[in-house]
Amino acid sequence: MKITNIDVTLRDGGYRNNFNFSLDYAKSHARLSAEAGFDWVEIAYRNGSFSQTPNLGLTGRGDNDFIQAMSREIGAERVALILHPKNISAPDLPEMYAAGARLVRIILPPHNYESGLAFIRQAREIGFTVGTNFARITQWPARRIAEVASAATDAGAEVVYLADSNGSMSPSQAISMTTLIQSLTGQPIGLHTHNNLGLALANTIAGVDAGATWVDSSLQGMGKGPGNLIAEQWLAYLERTNLAAAQKLNLGALLELADQLLAAVPQSQPSLPLPDLVLGHYDLSVEHRKAILGRHSEAIATARSLSGAK
Amino acid sequence: MKITNIDVTLRDGGYRNNFNFSLDYAKSHARLSAEAGFDWVEIAYRNGSFSQTPNLGLTGRGDNDFIQAMSREIGAERVALILHPKNISAPDLPEMYAAGARLVRIILPPHNYESGLAFIRQAREIGFTVGTNFARITQWPARRIAEVASAATDAGAEVVYLADSNGSMSPSQAISMTTLIQSLTGQPIGLHTHNNLGLALANTIAGVDAGATWVDSSLQGMGKGPGNLIAEQWLAYLERTNLAAAQKLNLGALLELADQLLAAVPQSQPSLPLPDLVLGHYDLSVEHRKAILGRHSEAIATARSLSGAK
């Protein structure tokens, strides 16, 4: 089955360097990413992530001139952005399209998502390929996911993304959530997995076996906390198991890109931060990281108290 | 289902530091490992690994006095060693047992394994719990595995370990190999997975779902190349999904042990070496690493030529 791959390194990886990628690096990254076989390169958030931070870099703002530069580099048909409805207003989507973006993913919250639906409608009218993303999916009751996914589909969302932001999903949950939302909406399902528990690849394989057809990954897994599904591992798996995908992948270019990222962006170095494993294990969002941040002994104390409290 | 967990950090992790763990570290590691809930701590190879290297450290030799010290630390019922038949002679197994080891795993090659069978018989007579390990399982024809597993079982092996030494196994292979060897031998099946392709956890979950009941893992995944199944991730998964295992696990002690390892042994730092991903992708053993070792550009060139050659 055809898998649509999105490279989220520049966007989700931005949590590691406050989105401060240089324009030259971003252009070179996107070029190699396209050569490696990614269908879309998610170049940025539009106007910031969920919680606004100061000195936000290039890929945290998604300004028009950045979109233009990236679109000239790899062509509009590969340029994607993601956004929180609360961060944009009516002129944003037309400007993004005019600047040369063709995929937009609109993140819907579990409640008060109506403004997001309006932007989904607007994006479809403009001509975008439109996706909707649900964050921290493990914390949503199934009926919430069902309601919001149905509303988003009715509004025009063409792909429904399940994002395991806490990295606490299990393969069996990936299967059941994919099956639930796909049966309900009849739409393509996307998976965005994190590695707090090292399950990003296991969850993606399970979800794709259950019918998911869109997948986010990032080079070296560079992303929030312990990071995203590792692109080098995921595309290698696809190349070995999925003929449709294999035909368009270039693992040489992928390794070259990984090498370039490691050399250019120190924050891309893989690690297994123990506090994030605790977050994933107890399905806690990143806001709780402060409680177990810093010296591992604190994480251990927290883990022990949490274990004891069970 | 009860899962028997073996901590292979001191042994397989030794490939990162030529087995040079200090006795103090090894004792402290084993103590916390037992507290964390590991059933067995594999403390060493006996008389070296497959290819002999100079200046082999404590956990590469498995001398009698080291076994005695570790056995005094955690009790004989938790002390395991692994060995290649070509490295030992008749006195070794009795000495190991007398020194205080109770689990021995004997690695059988796909051909000329008869001497290994003799040691399996001897170990059982002495009173060891005896396992047999097949290395580089992905390179064995199924009929070889079937023949050697049957012979090992007849000789007295109580658990048959499938070791994906090249880290190139897929979850579907883990399921089929586990099913094949378990149906054939009726014995418990063990899994030893590597992370060249990031599939160690996915393969272990798939194999355990298919009936495997013994699992190797190491702290921070410290092991040959990109390393083994990561114990922190595997035991966390078990704790969340397997009641029988959860009851005896202490994730706080596990995190403390990971913290201690990272502080004491720099070679335990996780990484995603791209040459090893190429090895795993093309099911090449570590001897081929030289061809793609060093600067990543060489790995890229190799990957490209291999891709082109397909």
User: Which of chain B's residues have a Cβ under 8 Å away from the Cβ of A256?
Assistant: 296-297, 300
Dist. CA B258–CA B8, nearest whole Å:
13
Q: Judge whether A35 is closer than 8 Å to chain B, CB to CB.
A: no
* Phi, psi values for residue A101, rounded to 5°: -100, 145
pLDDT tens-digit series, residues B127-161? 999 999 999 999 999 999 999 999 999 999 999 99
CB of B229 closer than 8 Å to CB of B196: no
Residues near B106 by beta carbon (within 8 Å), at least 6 away in sequence: B82, B83, B85, B116, B119, B120, B123, B130, B131, B132, B133, B157
**Topology (CATH level 3) of domain A4-269:** TIM Barrel (3.20.20)
pLDDT category at B61 given cuts 50, 70, 90 is very high
Residue of A206, A180, A179 whose CA lies nearest to A193: A206
**What is the predicted pLDDT for the residue at B205?**
96
CB of B201 closer than 8 Å to CB of B237: yes
**What is the predicted pLDDT for the residue at A118?**
98
Q: Which residues of B59-81 are buried (b: 16+ CB within 10 A; e: fewer)?
A: bbebebebbbbbbebbebebbbb
**What is the predicted pLDDT for the residue at A309?**
38
* pLDDT at position B240 over 80: yes
Q: Tell me what the pLDDT averaged over chain A comes to.
A: 92
User: Which of chain A's residues have a Cβ under 8 Å away from the Cβ of B35?
Assistant: none
CB-CB under 8 Å, A241 with B274: no
CB of A124 closer than 8 Å to CB of A145: no
CB of A148 closer than 8 Å to CB of A122: no
Mean local confidence (pLDDT), B58-76: 98
Element (H, E) at A229: none
Element (H, E) at B20: none
- CB nearest to B201's CB, from A198, A259, A304: A198
Residue A79: strand pairing partners? A41
**What is the predicted pLDDT for the residue at A211?**
96
Among residues of chain B, what percentage have pLDDT more than 70? 94
SS (H, E, C) B219-232: HHHCCCCCCECEHH
Among residues of chain B, what percentage have pLDDT more than 90? 79
Q: Judge whether B220 is closer than 8 Å to chain A, CB to CB.
A: yes
Dist. CA B273–CA B225, nearest whole Å:
8
User: Which of chain A's residues have a Cβ under 8 Å away from the Cβ of B278?
Assistant: 255
User: Which of chain A's residues have a Cβ under 8 Å away from the Cβ of B255?
Assistant: 274, 277-278, 296, 299-300, 303
pLDDT tens-digit series, residues B12-51? 999 999 999 999 999 999 999 999 999 999 999 999 998 8
Token digits for B244?
């029988």
**What is the predicted pLDDT for the residue at A98?**
98
**What is the predicted pLDDT for the residue at A295?**
47
List, for chain A, all residue ranges whose pLDDT scores fall below the cut of 70: 291-310
The residues spanned by each domain of chain B are: 4-269, 273-310
Mean local confidence (pLDDT), B248-276: 90
Q: Could you give the ipTM of this predicted complex? A: 0.79
pLDDT tens-digit series, residues A219-257? 999 998 889 999 999 999 999 888 777 778 998 999 999
**What is the predicted pLDDT for the residue at B52?**
84
Percent helix, strand, coil in chain A (nearest 5)? Answer: 55, 15, 30
* pLDDT at position B296 over 70: no
Question: How far is the alpha carbon of B109 from chain A, nearest alpha carbon, in Å?
Answer: 27
Interface subset of B 163-192, CB within 8 angstroms of A: 170-171
Token digits for B79?
């002390």
For B41, the 3-state DSSP assignment is strand
Question: How far is the alpha carbon of A92 from chain B, nearest alpha carbon, in Å?
Answer: 39
> Which residue is it, tokens 């009726």?
B186
Question: How far is the alpha carbon of B10 from chain A, nearest alpha carbon, in Å?
Answer: 19
Q: Name the residue type at position B7.
A: D
- CB nearest to A251's CB, from B202, B296, B303: B303
* pLDDT at position B295 over 90: no
Token digits for A118?
């309006």
* pLDDT at position B182 over 60: yes
How large is the C-alpha radius of gyration of chain A?
18
pLDDT tens-digit series, residues A92-114? 999 999 999 999 999 999 999 99
